[in-house]
Amino acid sequence: MAIICPENALATGITGVIDILNVANILSNKKVFSWFLVGVHSEQVTTSQGLTLPCDKKLEDLEKVDVLLWVGSQFQGHQKLWRDCQAYRPLAQHIMALARQSEHVIATCTSVSYLAVSGFLDDYRVTSSWWLKSFYQRYFPQLKVSQEKVYLQDGKVLTSGAAQCYFSMMAHLINQTCGAQLEEELSSWLAIPKLSETQNSYMRIGAFELHQDDRLLSLQSYIKNNLNDTLTLGSLAAHLSVSERTLIRRFQKQIGLSPSQYVRLARLEKAKQLLRTTRMNVTQVAWQVGYQDLGSFNRVFKEQYGKTLAEYRQLCL
């Protein structure tokens, strides 16, 4: 397995993967996996915490391997990520050849974009971190991205979201390559939690404000401050003085959500805050964020967070 380490990589993305492979070998009583680190432009990598790790070779010198695994780097905004992607363009053909020859191709979090530069992912369905949805829509519109999945396998390609998603993804790889029994033992020894199938419960409204459209930011602020109003597509478009079609297109480009999806998430997040910080009952909370039908709101809340309003309130006590 070649573990490709971009500059500013998350150290846990490197060491966590190695720990899982090492424990898998120990539990198997044999060396099932071997691995080495690959730097992108040099034979070392500096992680986001400033830790410098030696690498065994550079990406341009890498030859055929069984597994090609790309580690994610620290996210520093859309523009910085897009600039980082450009460093991979001179290596695009080499990356494409390596990916085609490998038995498994794995990418986590931001590294999905690095691999996407080669064009290899155009024929596969992928996932990544939920807060990168608008990034992929803007810079890689050809990709078939499902940001909601914790991890997603399509053929030999396995992709995942950030941090904790790595561990569930690697447990899945162990299952695929070595069987369910080893995965179960590994998950027990390392206490790898069984994550839900989606990243929905991790979504935060602030991550959808990482753009430079001032008028849209103003509208987002208006929405958050008027959640108990009737926030229809027509009223929001009128507030911004644009057509409904333009508003939808603008939301999708900058945010990666439709206006109604954004309003829904803003209401759900506000409800969580009220449940944590006030003594309002669940009916009052629903009214406060613009829902008159408690049953309907309960269903929406559970769909997003996996718990009813009452169950979430109980956790906060």
Q: What is the mean pLDDT of the chain?
A: 92
Confidence (pTM) = 0.85
Same domain, 66 and 169: yes
Report residue 251's pLDDT band, with 50, 70 and 90 as the boundaries: very high
By the 8 A CB rule, do 300 and 264 touch? Answer: yes
Same domain, 181 and 306: no
Report residue 190's pLDDT band, with 50, 70 and 90 as the boundaries: very high
Is residue 163 pLDDT above 90, yes or no? no
Count of the separate structural domains present in the chain: 2
Mean pLDDT of 196-207: 81
Same domain, 124 and 268: no
Domain with residue 231: its CATH number is 1.10.10.60
Beta bridge partners of 214: none
pLDDT confidence of residue 252: 86
Same domain, 185 and 217: no
Same domain, 168 and 299: no
Instruction: From 201, 231, 249, give the residue that closes a domain.
Output: 201
* Model confidence pLDDT, tens digit, residues 65-93: 999 999 999 998 888 999 999 999 999 99
Q: What is the 3-state secondary structure (H, E, C) of the chain?
A: CEEEECCCECHHHHHHHHHHHHHHHHHHCCCCCCCEEEECCCCEEECCCCCEEECCEEHHHCCCCCEEEECCECCCCHHHHHHHHHCCHHHHHHHHHHHHHCCEEEEECCHHHHHHCCCHHHHCEECCCHHHHHHHHHHCCCCEECCCECEEEECCEEEECCCHHHHHHHHHHHHHHHCHHHHHHHHHHHCCCCCCCECHHHCCHHHHHCCCCHHHHHHHHHHHHCCCCCCCHHHHHHHHCCCHHHHHHHHHHHCCCCHHHHHHHHHHHHHHHHHHHCCCCHHHHHHHCCCCCHHHHHHHHHHHHCCCHHHHHHHHC
Q: Which domain holds residue 309?
A: 204-316
pLDDT confidence of residue 133: 83
Domain with residue 157: its CATH number is 3.40.50.880
Residue 106 sits at φ, ψ, to 5 deg, of -125, 135
Percent of the chain with pLDDT over 70: 99
Look up tokens 């424990």; give the residue. 23
Is residue 209 pLDDT above 80, yes or no? yes
Contacts of 197 (CB under 8 A, 6+ apart): 149, 150
* Model confidence pLDDT, tens digit, residues 112-138: 999 999 999 999 999 999 888 888 988
Same domain, 53 and 159: yes
Instruction: From 201, 221, 255, give the residue that closes a domain.
Output: 201
Is residue 193 pLDDT above 90, yes or no? no
Q: Answer left, alpha or beta for residue 131, where phi above 0 means left and psi between -120 and 50 means alpha.
A: alpha
